[in-house]
Amino acid sequence: MLKSVLVANRGEIACRVISAARRLGMRATAVYSDADASAPHVKMADAAIGIGPAPARDSYLDIEKIVAAAKRAGVDCVHPGYGFLSENAEFAEACARADLVFVGPPPSAMRAMGLKDAAKALMERVGVPVTPGYHGAAQDEAILSAEAGKIGFPVLIKAVAGGGGKGMRRVDRPEDFNEALAGARREAEAAFNNGRVLIEKFIENPRHIEIQVFADAHGNVVHLNERDCSLQRRHQKVIEEAPAPGMTPETRGKMGAAAVAAARAVAYVGAGTVEFIVDGAAFPDGGFWFMEMNTRLQVEHPVTEAVTGVDLVEWQFRVAAGERLPLLQSDIHVEGHAVEARLYAEDPTNGFLPSTGSLWGLTFAEGAGIRVDAGVCSGGEVTPYYDPMIAKIVAHGSSRDEALDRLSGALGRTLVAGPRTNLAFLKALCDAPGFRAGKFGTGFIDRDLAGLGAVPRDIDEYAGALAVARHAKRLFDEALDTRARGGGPLSPWDEMDLFQLGGGRTAAVMARVDGRDFMARVEFGAMEVGCSIPNLRVRLGGAEIEPIARLSDNEWIVEAEDNTYLVLRAGFQTRVEIGVYDAAESGDAGDAVVSPMHGKLTAVFVDAGARVRKGQRVAIVEAMKMEHPLVAPVSGVVAEIRAAPGAQVARGAVVLLVEPDSGGAE
């Protein structure tokens, strides 16, 4: 067995690889960019080496830096994870030149499967069914248009390089073909530096089913059954499961045999995935067609591990060390059902835009059949430099219904406070009747974005009221504590003001709820605090509230920055920034501007002799972490200033005097 590894990746897959290496007694070295210096995978490893600035091209995609780090660490092998350099043949060759074992397939296999057109031609030669279409060398616009006509519309234009939906266009009419072709080529050229495309027949209501294959260097190849990855949005997988709903042993056997033939055709070694497209309306009795082969570990590999009991990363290390596969095909079975949801820092209510920022709170569910693979932690940060994945949440059960129930429950008990996430969207998808019934394809999500909650939402007034009450309750508790300790000079309990213990005093509170103005009224009772808005009232009392508080099964309040709260309700996050108490009627004191409460005079905005108008803000008093603006009671000239900024002022103290205009008070 290999004794040490450098993990050339980051995030949850780096943590996953390090964990497997540890179980095998291997020493693990991590690499990190400047943005990841304090990341969990760095802390988890036995050693860590910095490899440069945050942009991936200057760190995780820099072959020379990673190979140099591996040599410096003195490791036996390099594990690329997935993404970044995992399917880069030049990287594998650079490792070999440095006498490092590359934990992955040979470069020849990567190249053979790296371009979709060449891979399809190879698959045809070995008898693996491919999607009807054109994948020839000629790229003239007229030839491609003619081939599309022969195939029959609708067709799919696909870049021969890369993946993730880039350089892909569906074309429904001949007259739209040339424009779509130009767009696909531009996108492919920008993403992969390769503008070549192929044309495929578009399969209506398709399902995406992939087969996990594994091969060793001794000629043994097995498949570990299938995964259904049909729940996608813009060609990006969202939820994956194993086995595929509706799959029969006969169809599984045929697809598995085709996947094994594909792996043998390129002399494959290690973990790989052969992806097929099937006709959802005719599945499982209809045809299936080869799409591509991923020459690496897949993001969704945990669902295969859950139903087969195989540690795929351990197998990767063993095969890389020259060992034979641990199991024969006849030894591999499916037990139960597993489902994986990809938890991303993105906002489904705003076009799924990526979201970044500090993670003020992060709590994952635990329980029977639940596995969480995460690469971030509470107190960390989601940066704009890399994939916005927070975690993969996996549920395993004896049946598909049990697995989905467990996943839905786990999603409901998960807290992510800070960046916005797709948590509520994932739970809605998990509970969607069509998905539960197995009636879905790759277009399922896009057909019902509104039903899945992936549309703009109105302001959550309840969340706003809850946060205001929570803030007032914290101030209330702090004041109680001050009184219990004997108070002090200018204690808020010395006067019958807003915060007295007995009686029901109230105050208006301004806030910003998801960037929109919000007004509520706080009510201070004898031992509790309430908050009310039209048709809604929230009351908090009793036990002290922690900085991260769970109020119910699907409600959390997290204190972020000063006077800012994040309210999580049913997976949706609302940001509430507490403003200032409204100004009291200070005109009762005639021409004097008085403090309505004990506090600190934090600002005076006018000088003696300055002209002011009635209602103009002239000073601010801060009390119990809230600001209270003081306004001029009349229009006139400031005659005297009696307190300087920084001074403590008592309730009723005169801060400044205004000499009214000759016309008197307005």
Indicate whether 164 belongs to any domain.
yes
Please tell me the predicted confidence (pLDDT) of residue 585.
35
Indicate whether 456 belongs to any domain.
no
CATH value at residue 176: 3.30.1490.20
Q: Are strands 611-612 and 361-363 parallel, antiparallel or unpaired?
A: unpaired
Question: Exposed, middle or buried: residue 661 (CB in 10 Å: 0-12, 13-18, 19+)?
Answer: middle
Q: What average pLDDT score do residues 636-646 get?
A: 92
Q: In angstroms, what CA-CA distances link 78 with 90, 110, 139, 387?
A: 14, 16, 38, 21
Distance, first Cα to last Cα, the chain:
89
* pLDDT bracket for residue 499 (50, 70, 90): very low
Indicate whether 469 belongs to any domain.
yes
> 401-431: per-residue pLDDT in tens?
999 999 999 999 999 999 999 999 999 999 9
Give the C-alpha separation, 590 to 243, whole Å. 79
Indicate whether 506 belongs to any domain.
yes
Please tell me the predicted confidence (pLDDT) of residue 597.
64
Q: What average pLDDT score do residues 360-389 get?
A: 94
CATH value at residue 656: 2.40.50.100
Which of 18-27, 540-549, 618-627 shows the highest mean pLDDT? 18-27
Least confident piece of the model among 234-243, 292-301, 475-484, 531-540: 475-484
Give the C-alpha separation, 623 to 597, whole Å. 7
Give the C-alpha separation, 24 to 17, whole Å. 11
* pLDDT bracket for residue 389 (50, 70, 90): very high
In sequence order, which residues have a C-beta less than 8 Å from that of residue 37 and are 6 or more positions away? Answer: 50
| Of the residues 415, 448, 481, the one at which a domain ends | 448
Q: What average pLDDT score do residues 17-24 get?
A: 98
Q: Are residues 221 and 325 in the same domain?
A: yes
Helices and strands per DSSP (H, E), number in the chain: 15, 39
Contact status, residue 278 vs residue 286, Cβ threshold 8 Å: yes
Q: Which domain holds residue 577?
A: 461-581
Please tell me the predicted confidence (pLDDT) of residue 502.
44
- What single letter denotes the amino acid at residue 3? K
Q: What average pLDDT score do residues 285-291 get?
A: 89
Indicate whether 454 belongs to any domain.
no
Give the C-alpha separation, 561 to 565, whole Å. 7
Q: What average pLDDT score do residues 132-155 get?
A: 94
Give the C-alpha separation, 469 to 467, whole Å. 5
Q: What average pLDDT score do residues 243-255 get?
A: 96
* pLDDT bracket for residue 175 (50, 70, 90): very high
At residue 580, does pLDDT exceed 50? Answer: no
Q: In angstroms, what CA-CA distances link 457 with 229, 518, 553, 555, 574?
A: 28, 16, 22, 18, 11
Instruction: Show the tokens assigned to 92.
Output: 């594998």
Indicate whether 31 belongs to any domain.
yes
Q: Are residues 465 and 499 in the same domain?
A: yes
Give the C-alpha separation, 235 to 165, whole Å. 5
Q: Where are the beta strands (DSSP E) in 295-385?
A: 337-344, 346-347, 353-354, 357-358, 361-363, 370-374, 381-382
* Three-state DSSP state, 83: coil
Please tell me the predicted confidence (pLDDT) of residue 448.
93
Contact status, residue 587 vs residue 526, Cβ threshold 8 Å: no
Instruction: Show the tokens assigned to 245.
Output: 């709903």
At residue 497, does pLDDT exceed 50? Answer: no
Q: Are residues 66 and 187 in the same domain?
A: no
Q: Which value, in Å, is the radius of gyration of the alpha carbons in the chain?
A: 32
- Choice among 252, 296, 371, 569 that is catalytic: 296
Please tell me the predicted confidence (pLDDT) of residue 544.
61
Q: Are residues 120 and 264 in the same domain?
A: yes
Indicate whether 314 belongs to any domain.
yes
At residue 582, does pLDDT exceed 50? Answer: no
Contact status, residue 200 vs residue 155, Cβ threshold 8 Å: yes
Please tell me the predicted confidence (pLDDT) of residue 503.
47
Please tell me the predicted confidence (pLDDT) of residue 157.
95
Please tell me the predicted confidence (pLDDT) of residue 510.
79
Helix (H) / strand (E) element for 3: namely none
Indicate whether 455 belongs to any domain.
no
Least confident piece of the model among 16-25, 178-187, 309-318: 178-187
Q: What average pLDDT score do residues 576-605 get?
A: 66
Q: What average pLDDT score do residues 372-386 get?
A: 93
Residues of the chain above pLDDT 90, percent: 68
Q: 275-295: buried (b, 16+ CB within 10 Å) or exposed (e) per residue?
A: bbbbbbeebbeeebbbbbbbb
Please tell me the predicted confidence (pLDDT) of residue 483.
64
Residue 353: count other Cβ atoms within 10 Å of its Cβ.
11
CA angle 310, 313, 317 (to 5 degrees): 115
At residue 532, does pLDDT exceed 50? Answer: yes
Q: Are residues 115 and 264 in the same domain?
A: yes
Please tell me the predicted confidence (pLDDT) of residue 116.
84
* Three-state DSSP state, 441: coil
CATH value at residue 276: 3.30.470.20
Please tell me the predicted confidence (pLDDT) of residue 527.
66
| Of the residues 448, 480, 495, the one at which a domain ends | 448
Q: Are residues 329 and 195 in the same domain?
A: no
Least confident piece of the model among 54-68, 477-491, 512-526, 639-653: 477-491
Give the C-alpha separation, 122 to 215, whole Å. 19
Q: Are residues 480 and 569 in the same domain?
A: yes
* pLDDT bracket for residue 664 (50, 70, 90): very low
**What length is written for the chain?**
666
Q: In angstroms, what CA-CA distances link 637 with 149, 601, 613, 641?
A: 84, 21, 9, 11
Active site residue 296: yes
At residue 586, does pLDDT exceed 60? Answer: no
Give the C-alpha separation, 211 to 304, whole Å. 10
Mean pLDDT of the chain: 89
| Of the residues 288, 304, 335, the one at which a domain ends | 335
> 596-638: per-residue pLDDT in tens?
666 788 899 999 999 999 889 899 887 644 567 888 988 999 9
Q: Are residues 227 and 330 in the same domain?
A: yes
Contact status, residue 148 vs residue 155, Cβ threshold 8 Å: yes
Q: Are residues 226 and 241 in the same domain?
A: yes
Q: Are residues 121 and 152 in the same domain?
A: no
Our count of domains for the chain comes to 6
Q: Are residues 261 and 319 in the same domain?
A: yes
Q: Are residues 191 and 286 in the same domain?
A: no
Give the C-alpha separation, 243 to 223, whole Å. 13
